[in-house]
Every structure is written in structure tokens, then in C-alpha cells.
């Protein structure tokens, strides 16, 4: 049978349309480049800051934390095409001045990029 139809052939009709807060937002992608952030008002009046472009990463090694520049996006395990476009997501491996770093947070949600140094 066709999708969205009853066994008798009748149509399923939606009860209502989606409300504004139920609709999906614009897709956010963090690209490699000069720092750029955006602030959005959320439900309840709070503000959320997310990253659109980033060039630095907070790196944690064994005993210290430091901020360093990102040189290149090497690979993204979730989608190999994202690495070609220099898009940074959680799990992405980037090349920095210290070496290879794995991104451990979601930059679109937090407004910065954090990672751990790979040996």
C-alpha cells in the first residue's frame, strides 16, 4: 500500500500543523576560519551562543590545558565529506601546532571547540 494510507485506501489526516517551537531550526555547521559566533534567544528567555566559524581549540594533554590554532581538518569519522569541506563536529580529528587533536565537545551547542591531544 501507499505510504500515508489506511488499509482501506483512505488518507490519514494530520491533527494539526507544527507549532513554531516544534519546527526544526537552521542547520548549524562549524567551519574552519576566522572566529564567528551567533546568539539566539531560547525558550524561557535564556540565550544560547553557538559557533559558526572557529580557528582555535582548547587542548587538554596529560596535565595541562592550552589554546592553540587549528591548521587543518584531517578526518571526520561520522561523515568523510565533512572533512573535505573543513566542517568541525564532535569526533573530528584536526591538525594543530601541538599535533593531532580529537574534538570532544559539540561546537554548535557550546560556542567553543575543546579537544584532547592524540599520542
Residue 99, pLDDT score: 93
Task: Please report whether residue 109 resides in a domain.
Answer: yes
CATH number at residue 35: 3.10.290.70
Cell 564532535 sits on residue: 90
Task: Please report whether residue 83 resides in a domain.
Answer: yes
Task: Please report whether residue 39 resides in a domain.
Answer: yes
Query: Could you read off the pLDDT tens digit of each residue along the chain, which spans 119 residues?
Result: 578 889 898 999 889 999 988 888 888 899 999 999 999 888 899 998 889 999 999 999 988 999 999 999 999 999 989 999 999 999 999 999 999 999 999 998 888 999 999 97
Domain tally, the chain: 1
Task: Please report whether residue 20 resides in a domain.
Answer: no
Task: Please report whether residue 19 resides in a domain.
Answer: no
The pairing of beta strand 100-103 with beta strand 93-96:
antiparallel
Between vectors from CA 49 to CA 32 and to CA 44, what angle results, nearest 5°? 155
Which range of residues forms the domain containing residue 33? 28-117
Amino acid at each position: 500500500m501507499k505510504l500515508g494510507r489506511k488499509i482501506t485506501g483512505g488518507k490519514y489526516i494530520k491533527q494539526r500543523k507544527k507549532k513554531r517551537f516544534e519546527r526544526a531550526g537552521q542547520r548549524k555547521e562549524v567551519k574552519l576560519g576566522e572566529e564567528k559566533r551567533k546568539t539566539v534567544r531560547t525558550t524561557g528567555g535564556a540565550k544560547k551562543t553557538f559557533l559558526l566559524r572557529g580557528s582555535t581549540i582548547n587542548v587538554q594533554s596529560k596535565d595541562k590545558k592550552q589554546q592553540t590554532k587549528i591548521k587543518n581538518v584531517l578526518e571526520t569519522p561520522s561523515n568523510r565529506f565533512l572533512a573535505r569541506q573543513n566542517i568541525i563536529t564532535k569526533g573530528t580529528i584536526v591538525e594543530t601546532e601541538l599535533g593531532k587533536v580529537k574534538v570532544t565537545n559539540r561546537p554548535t551547542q557550546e560556542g567553543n571547540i575543546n579537544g584532547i591531544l592524540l599520542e
